[in-house]
Amino acid sequence: MRILLPLFFALAIGGAPSLTAQEPSLGLNVQPPSASQTATMLGRVRDLDVHYVRASWWAWTKPADWTWYPRFKAAGIEVLPLVYAGPGTPATAGARIAARYRTLFNAYGHFPYVQLDNEVDGDGPFAVKGGNPYQQGRKWGEQMRIAARLIHAFDPGAKIVTAGVAWNREGVRDWVRGVVSVGGFDVLAIHPYGIGCAGEPLSRYQAVRDQGWKGPIWATEVGVSQAQARYIRRDADAFQAEQMRRCLREDPSRLGYQRLYWFQLTPDGEGWGILRRDGTPRPAYTWLRSRGG
């Protein structure tokens, strides 16, 4: 979930992917709905013909209510659980995040993919200002590898998705290179935020390739907030819809990703949601619903 707003506005589009690249699969970030909201939110996801959802399982201190999950699964929607580690050494935090995922596994069974933590390059012990980004990336990679080994002991088929790289600190390329050097994961995730997402933010997948990663790259968060629109004096609804269209339909950099998870479906106070607080669709939602036509 986005907290910081990078103060830059870059529009240059990076090197284009191969002409044989396929369109990425589209997913949505969804805040875990309550029991009374489940039918409505599931209906919205199905209305948009989206088959992938990302949602937090264990946030900072306690697990979320996931009683909604069986209905989404029964509807054929693949859910990517996001599990936070909390503080500690690579060994203790790695064991903790595996244990937290195990509670979800014990309740609902196997998940095809699990994402371990969120934007750890942006703050905290793996992004100490003045430190060595490469070594910090390696340290977090070790924590992730420990967690992955423990997870595979009880869910051997689960594929490991890295925390989405926030990409808002100097040295991020070296940080990613450190993570890649450790290995032990299946998908490298980034969060290509800027003022909007089209252009330079979306093209960052190429910088990941430049650090030696040859596997799948997902954008597990990509989206537009009201603050971004205000920063450049644009109408928030119009800017969000424009950026969605550019990022999901027009920008060639989208073809460098296997999945793009838009942030987010759920309404919120910062204007990321493509639904308003009263549940009515914003223009981005309307465009997304009609994108196949």
Query: What CA–CA distance (Å, rounded) separates 174 from 90?
Result: 19
Q: How confident is the model at residue 12, as a pLDDT? A: 36
Provide the residue type at 50 as one letter. Answer: V
**Closest C-alpha to 217, from 261, 252, 247, 270:** 261
- What's 25-290's CATH class? alpha beta
Residue with tokens 């949601």: 273
Q: What's the pLDDT at 87?
A: 86
| Alpha-carbon span 202 to 189, nearest angstrom | 12
Taken in order 228, 271, 242, 82, the sign of the CA dihedral is: positive
pLDDT of the residue at 126: 80
Give pTM, 2 decimals. 0.92
Question: For position 62, what pLDDT does the model report?
Answer: 81
Candidates 187, 180, 205; CA nearest to 18 is 205
Provide the pLDDT for residue 128.
74
Kindly give, in sequence order, each residue whose CB lies less than 8 Å from that of residue 52, ignoring residues fewer than 6 positions away: 25, 26, 27, 28, 77, 78, 79, 80, 259, 261
pLDDT tens-digit profile, the chain (293 residues)? 554 343 333 333 344 555 447 999 999 999 999 999 999 999 999 999 999 999 999 876 789 999 999 999 999 999 999 999 988 999 999 999 999 999 999 999 999 999 999 999 987 778 777 789 999 999 999 999 999 999 999 999 999 999 999 998 889 999 999 999 999 999 999 999 999 999 999 999 999 999 999 999 999 999 999 999 999 999 999 999 999 999 999 999 999 999 999 999 999 999 999 999 999 999 999 999 998 54
